[in-house]
Amino acid sequence: MAGALLEVKDLRFAWPGSAHDCLDIAALQVAAGETVFLHGPSGCGKSTLLSLLAGVLLPQSGRVALDGVDWGELRPAARDRHRVDQVGYIFQQFNLLPYLTALENVLLPCRFSTRRREAAARSARSLRAEGQHWLGGMGLDAAVSDRPAHMLSVGQQQRVAAARALIGRPGLVIADEPTSALDEDRRDVFLDLLLSACAEAGSALVFVSHDRRIAPRFGRQVSLPAINRAAVGMQAVA
């Protein structure tokens, strides 16, 4: 799978000061446009893995490459640029700048990334229309787009965050338990919208959750404890 969008090989990572590896993963690949459900119990290193995938953390050894570029070979500024060019990120909550409108929040990556701005402009609409397109894709109408973010409900905020992750069609969208603050109905609606928007953008999605009930909706399910050789050792110790 040499053409994989995201490629992890022989990754070993330990937190500073820790005697044991936190993560030890032989191989993990995500193809372009693929949707991956990453699950595992709390504290198994899911968020740490996401930080490694996004180049926020670097492994002690091994390779994490996004779009053919190894994070470890980039200088910090180049990592920042590569990240905003290639990765859209959705947190559990508090995704937005409260003083900007929903639309302005969506357009933020285009302000900082030339690639995302040009990609957004290529869709032959204005930047504003493109932002509204993705807001619409996440089921938010034009009335919401000019409302300040702090006046939106939690569910609306998560949808704005998703629209922001997708604008400019980055290769990879990382979602770190984005539905944990939503009730079941809104969770399902959010998932429907997110998956179809990712499909439209052509972006791969790595979706982390401990909620196994939504796993079947993804193209592939990955259990972190199953691929993490460090976890076996930890369980043996425990």
Q: Which of residues 3-42 bind other proteins (CB under 8 A)?
A: none
Please, what is the minimum distance in Å from the beta carbon of residue 80 to other proteins? 5
- Contact string (CB under 8 A) for other proteins, positions 52-81, x = contact: --x-x-------------------xx--xx
> Considering the rule CB under 8 A, would residue 109 count as an interface residue with other proteins?
yes
Stretch that binds other proteins, among 11-19, 104-112, 120-128, 137-145 (CB under 8 A): 104-112
Number of residues that bind other proteins (CB under 8 A): 31
Contact 120, 165 (CB under 8 A): no
> Considering the rule CB under 8 A, would residue 179 count as an interface residue with other proteins?
no
> Considering the rule CB under 8 A, would residue 180 count as an interface residue with other proteins?
no
Please, what is the minimum distance in Å from the beta carbon of residue 28 to other proteins? 18
Locus of tokens 């993490």: 228
Stretch that binds other proteins, among 10-18, 50-58, 67-75, 221-229 (CB under 8 A): 50-58
CA–CA separation, 67 vs 69, rounded Å? 6
Contact 66, 238 (CB under 8 A): no
Please, what is the minimum distance in Å from the beta carbon of residue 1 to other proteins? 26
Please, what is the minimum distance in Å from the beta carbon of residue 216 to other proteins? 27
Q: How many residues does the chain have?
A: 238
Locus of tokens 């401990």: 210
Options 24, 34, 130, 176; binder of other proteins; rule CB under 8 A: 176
What CA–CA distances, in Å, run from 142 to 132, 136, 146, 183? Answer: 7, 8, 7, 24
> Considering the rule CB under 8 A, would residue 95 count as an interface residue with other proteins?
yes
Q: Extract the runs of DSSP E, i.e. beta strands, from 43-159.
A: 61-66, 69-70, 87-90
CA–CA separation, 206 vs 208, rounded Å? 7
CB atoms < 10 A from the CB of 117, how many? 18
Structure tokens at 124: 């032959």
List residues binding other proteins (CB under 8 A): 47-48, 50-51, 54, 56, 76-77, 80-81, 83-84, 89, 91-100, 108-109, 111-113, 116, 164, 176
